[in-house]
């Protein structure tokens, strides 16, 4: 199959089911690794990031049983000394680092060269505070514990992933711990992790000022967990509906800790017709006006909001996007450079990115092996003058393998 697609201008109409959240699934899998009595994960779905975590916990000794009701994970008595491979999953890598340090053994956690080239320099400084040796190599990270309880001060937060891993590890070790984060970012993801762990026997209290208290020495309870529908990937369809027609997305929980549910607030602010129903969200096209967005706590909304802004009268502004240059691509630079080929009026300003309503012309766009860029370009193409060709579309396998199939079903405006 050719790894490119042409998407022409099209209206949309339909009802879709939100794809299960890889962020939620990976957290559940790691909980399974630490649960010797077994954890049943319902609504599991494959993507390359979730599969990477699954392969890691298998390598470390977890039992995996495929049942009609879901996937049952049973953690080992002791981790198998091995070299788990996180591939290109940043969440898998950064959560595994503290967890593997529950053992006093040495581990080398492999990952792609692309992932290791992203900003990881803060990790050894943080782990050293808890007695862990952590060395970054060209193809992974070497770690040696054991980790101990205590107070951790994080001065340069680059996200929530390592802190989420610390919540798992510090819930297991004896003693009380305290994490103090200066100027926290993506904090709702930390709250999501704490909520999941507390449901299975942890004792974690978090404060929105960035202070987290963890009482250790806990054994995680057996039970089951259902993977939530993913607000991050669903946000592209909700934006498409606001600019091209009407879509109902089922399987989204408005009470979720997922921070990307904030897309609803931005759509309402921009003027879209939004209806919240039990178990689903309906969005309908309407005249749209410019908006401002601070994405400090929901950086994955950056690209859906760029697409929305391209269809809003006036000039929209997006703030706190800087750390997105360390994602699968340098996301701000890539989206500006690529969409400019199609005539987008999008500019990097001193402290924000400004976007004006733009009529996009035909162009061939490269998503730079970034799943969210590929989805964003597809969404933008639906309201272009003469369509857009996107190359390298298999990169969506990272989070949402069925994205283009679902898009085709509700538009009939794509040609491979």
Asked if residue 347 and residue 235 are part of one domain, the reply reads yes
DSSP 344: -
Asked if residue 234 and residue 209 are part of one domain, the reply reads no
Asked if residue 27 and residue 11 are part of one domain, the reply reads no
CATH number, residue 344: 3.65.10.10
In three-state form (DSSP H/G/I as H, E/B as E, the rest C), the secondary structure along 67-99 is ECCEEEEECCCCCCCCCCECCCCHHHHHHHHHH
Q: Which helix (H) or strand (E) holds 242?
A: helix 231-244
DSSP 203: E
Half-sphere exposure of 26 (CA within 13 A, CB side): 28
DSSP 19: P
Structure-token match 């750390």, residue found: 323
Nearest to 267, CA basis, from 252, 285, 250, 254: 285
Q: Give the count of domains, the chain.
A: 2
Express each pLDDT in 136-186 by its tens digit: 999 999 999 999 999 999 987 667 999 999 999 999 999 999 999 998 989
Asked if residue 11 and residue 31 are part of one domain, the reply reads no
Q: Residue 1: its pLDDT value, please? A: 44
Question: Which of 156, 190, 215 is the last residue before a domain boundary?
Answer: 215
Which structural domain range is residue 104 located in? 22-215
Indicate whether 380 belongs to any domain.
yes
Q: Residue 323: its pLDDT value, please? A: 84
Asked if residue 312 and residue 407 are part of one domain, the reply reads yes
Asked if residue 166 and residue 305 are part of one domain, the reply reads no
Q: What is the block-wise mean pLDDT of the chain (416 residues), using blocks of 10 residues?
A: 87 96 98 96 97 98 96 97 96 98 96 92 95 96 97 83 97 98 92 97 94 97 96 98 97 96 98 94 97 96 98 97 85 96 95 96 97 97 96 96 95 56
H helical segments located in 262-301: 263-270
Q: Which helix (H) or strand (E) holds 11?
A: none
Asked if residue 346 and residue 234 are part of one domain, the reply reads yes
Indicate whether 349 belongs to any domain.
yes
Asked if residue 241 and residue 163 are part of one domain, the reply reads no
Indicate whether 223 belongs to any domain.
no
Indicate whether 385 belongs to any domain.
yes
Within a 10 A sphere around the Cβ of 284, how many other Cβ atoms? Answer: 15
Cα 280 from Cα 26, distance rounded (Å)? 24
Global pTM value = 0.95
Indicate whether 198 belongs to any domain.
yes
Question: Which of 185, 215, 245 is the last residue before a domain boundary?
Answer: 215
Report the relative pairing of strands 223-226 and 245-250 from DSSP bridges: unpaired
Structure-token match 């209290």, residue found: 205
Q: Residue 391: its pLDDT value, please? A: 97
Structure tokens belonging to residue 232: 């991050």
Nearest to 50, CA basis, from 78, 19, 75: 19
Indicate whether 221 belongs to any domain.
no
> Cis omega (within 30 of 0) on the bond before 146?
yes
Q: Residue 414: its pLDDT value, please? A: 47
Please answer whether residues 283 and 274 qualify as being in contact, where contact means their C-beta atoms are separated by less than 8 angstroms: yes
Q: Residue 324: its pLDDT value, please? A: 86
């Amino acid at each position: 199959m050719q790894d490119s697609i042409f998407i022409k201008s099209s209206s949309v109409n339909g009802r879709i089911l939100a794809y299960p959240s890889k962020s939620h699934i990976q957290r559940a899998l790691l909980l399974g690794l630490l649960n010797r009595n077994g954890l049943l994960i319902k609504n599991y779905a494959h993507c390359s990031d979730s599969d990477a975590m699954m392969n890691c916990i298998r390598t470390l000794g977890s039992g995996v049983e495929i049942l009609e009701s879901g996937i049952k994970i049973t953690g080992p008595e002791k981790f198998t000394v091995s070299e788990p491979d996180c591939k290109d999953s940043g969440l898998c890598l950064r959560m595994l680092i503290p967890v593997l340090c529950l053992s006093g053994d040495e581990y080398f956690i492999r990952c792609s060269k692309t992932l290791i080239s992203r900003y990881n320099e803060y990790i050894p400084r943080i782990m050293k505070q808890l007695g862990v040796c952590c060395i970054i190599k060209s193809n992974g990270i070497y770690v040696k514990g054991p980790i101990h309880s205590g107070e951790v001060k994080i001065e340069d937060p680059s996200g929530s992933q390592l802190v989420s891993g610390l919540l798992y590890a510090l819930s297991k070790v004896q003693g009380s711990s305290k994490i103090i984060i200066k100027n926290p970012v993506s904090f709702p993801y930390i709250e999501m992790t704490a909520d999941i762990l507390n449901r299975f026997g942890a004792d974690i209290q978090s404060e929105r000022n960035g202070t987290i208290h963890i009482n250790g020495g806990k054994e995680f309870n057996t039970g089951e967990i259902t993977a939530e529908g993913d607000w991050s990937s669903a946000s592209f369809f909700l934006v498409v509906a606001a600019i091209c027609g009407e879509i109902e997305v089922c399987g989204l929980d408005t009470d979720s800790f997922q921070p990307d549910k904030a897309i609803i607030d931005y759509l309402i602010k921009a003027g879209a017709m939004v209806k919240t129903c039990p178990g689903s969200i309906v969005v309908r096209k309407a005249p749209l006006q410019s908006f401002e967005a601070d994405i400090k706590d929901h950086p994955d909304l950056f690209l859906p909001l760029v697409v929305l802004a391209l269809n809003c009268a006036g000039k929209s502004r997006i703030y706190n996007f800087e750390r997105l240059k360390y994602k699968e691509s340098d996301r701000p630079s890539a989206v500006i450079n690529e969409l400019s080929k199609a005539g987008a009026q999008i500019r990097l300003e001193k402290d924000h990115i400004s976007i004006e309503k733009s009529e996009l012309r035909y162009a061939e766009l490269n998503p730079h092996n970034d799943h969210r860029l590929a989805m964003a370009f597809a969404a933008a193409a639906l309201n272009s003058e003469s369509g857009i060709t996107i190359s390298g579309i298999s990169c969506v396998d990272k989070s949402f393998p069925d994205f283009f199939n679902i898009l085709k079903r509700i538009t009939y405006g794509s040609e491979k």
